[in-house]
């Protein structure tokens, strides 16, 4: 049992951030195992089959605040860059806190290029050092299967 606990603690935890300018969701990849029980309520590791990894959401879905507006002439224009920078700060603060709390030790960032740039600016050194891959795409509209396919491409 000690070895099981020790290996679980040593196993890296990879968070996958999928974001656009309006929302962000964090996932972990979890491999599930199916055990064949020879004795009731017992599973033997030598009988385990590994299924396809599944993505499980971690924490809340982060949402951008409604964009602020500025008056120019007689009409109102949205200040989208300011809103995206503010949202990047919110995401980075969440990731920085989670990294400090050792909730993950590896990080994959998937977001449009501008948001990735803003995120990099606001991540603390330890969180930046945890980044193992980046993908400059908006994949917030993808289902888990499609998202997993994209993750295989960057792995």
The structure tokens listed for 102 are 């050792």
The answer to whether domain 12-154 has CATH 3.30.420.60 is: yes
Q: Tens of pLDDT along 98-140? A: 999 999 999 999 999 999 999 999 999 999 999 999 999 999 9
Domain spans, the chain: 12-154
Q: Tens of pLDDT along 45-100? A: 444 444 455 788 887 888 887 655 555 555 555 555 567 889 999 999 999 999 99
- Whole-model pTM: value is 0.70
CB 47 within 8 A of CB 36: yes
Q: Tens of pLDDT along 2-43? A: 444 444 556 789 999 999 989 999 999 875 445 444 444 555
């Amino acid at each position: 049992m000690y070895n099981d606990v020790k290996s679980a603690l040593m196993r890296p935890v990879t968070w996958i951030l999928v974001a656009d300018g309006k929302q962000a969701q964090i996932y972990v990849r979890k491999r599930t195992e199916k055990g064949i029980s020879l004795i009731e309520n017992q599973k033997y590791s030598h009988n385990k089959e590994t299924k396809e990894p599944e993505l499980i959401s971690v924490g809340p879905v982060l949402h951008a605040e409604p964009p602020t507006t500025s008056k120019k002439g007689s009409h109102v224009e949205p200040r989208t860059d300011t809103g995206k920078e503010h949202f990047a700060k919110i995401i980075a603060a969440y990731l920085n806190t989670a990294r400090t709390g050792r909730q993950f030790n590896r990080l994959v960032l998937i977001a449009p290029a501008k948001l990735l740039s803003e995120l990099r600016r606001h991540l603390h050194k330890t969180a930046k050092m945890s980044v193992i891959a980046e993908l400059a795409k908006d994949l917030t509209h993808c289902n888990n299967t499609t998202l997993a396919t994209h993750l295989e491409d960057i792995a």
